[in-house]
């Protein structure tokens, strides 16, 4: 198991480091949560490592977060389980649109779970967040839209590249 899981863990680690350092400086990429997208991909492919990957991804996000330990861990794990269940048991259409809607709603659920955890911990006086009622809907919506747009580009890119290759090879200058 560790030999097959190691590349996934390294991919998550590199993705989180890039997201926090390099991607945060690029306007389009700073609004995409690559960790959630990787976990979603593993969970809809029903990869047996999607739960350990969610735990590793949530644990790695904790190191760079100001939240109490377990907030990201619980949110990412819940998203992995929820998306796996919805994609494999509820959705009957396995097209790109289903995955795009699942990715967008998963990002909303991810932020909602984090907000609920912070609210519960503040209510129980375990955490002293002063700004718990401030939810940044605009950034959550922007993150969902940019993530779905990024997935659409990745989905359409092979088709576009194949068409461009056919056009170049069929041009009279190449004959």
Give the residue with greater pLDDT, 65 vs 101.
101
Q: In angstroms, how far is the first alpha carbon of the chain from the final one?
A: 52
Is the confidence at residue 131, as pLDDT, over 60? Answer: no
Q: Is the pTM of this model over 0.95?
A: no
Cβ atoms < 10 Å from Cβ of 1: 8
- Number of domains comprising the chain: 1
Q: Which residue carries 């940044």 as its tokens?
A: 136
Average pLDDT of every residue of the chain: 80
**Domain limits for position 78:** 2-174
Range with the largest mean pLDDT of 118-127, 146-155, 160-169: 146-155
For residue 84, give the H/E element and its range. helix 71-85
Is the confidence at residue 56, as pLDDT, over 80? Answer: yes
Q: What is the pLDDT confidence band of residue 78, given thresholds at 50, 70 and 90?
A: very high
> Percentage of residues in the chain with pLDDT exceeding 70?
87
């Amino acid at each position: 198991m560790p030999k097959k899981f190691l590349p996934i863990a390294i991919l998550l680690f590199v993705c989180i480091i890039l997201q926090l350092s390099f991607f945060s400086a690029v306007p389009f990429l700073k609004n995409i949560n690559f960790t959630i997208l990787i976990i979603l991909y593993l969970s809809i492919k029903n990869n047996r490592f999607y739960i350990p990957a969610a735990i590793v991804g949530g644990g790695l996000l904790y190191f760079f977060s100001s939240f109490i330990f377990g907030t990201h861990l619980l949110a990412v794990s819940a998203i992995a389980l929820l998306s796996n269940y919805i994609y494999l048991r509820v959705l009957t259409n396995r097209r790109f649109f289903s995955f795009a809607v699942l990715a967008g709603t998963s990002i909303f659920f991810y932020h909602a779970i984090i907000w609920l955890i912070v609210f519960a911990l503040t209510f129980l006086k375990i955490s002293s967040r002063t700004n718990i009622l401030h939810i940044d809907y605009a950034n959550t919506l922007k993150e969902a839209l940019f993530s779905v747009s990024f997935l659409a580009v990745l989905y359409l890119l092979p088709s576009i590249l194949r068409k461009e290759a056919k056009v170049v090879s069929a041009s009279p200058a190449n004959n």
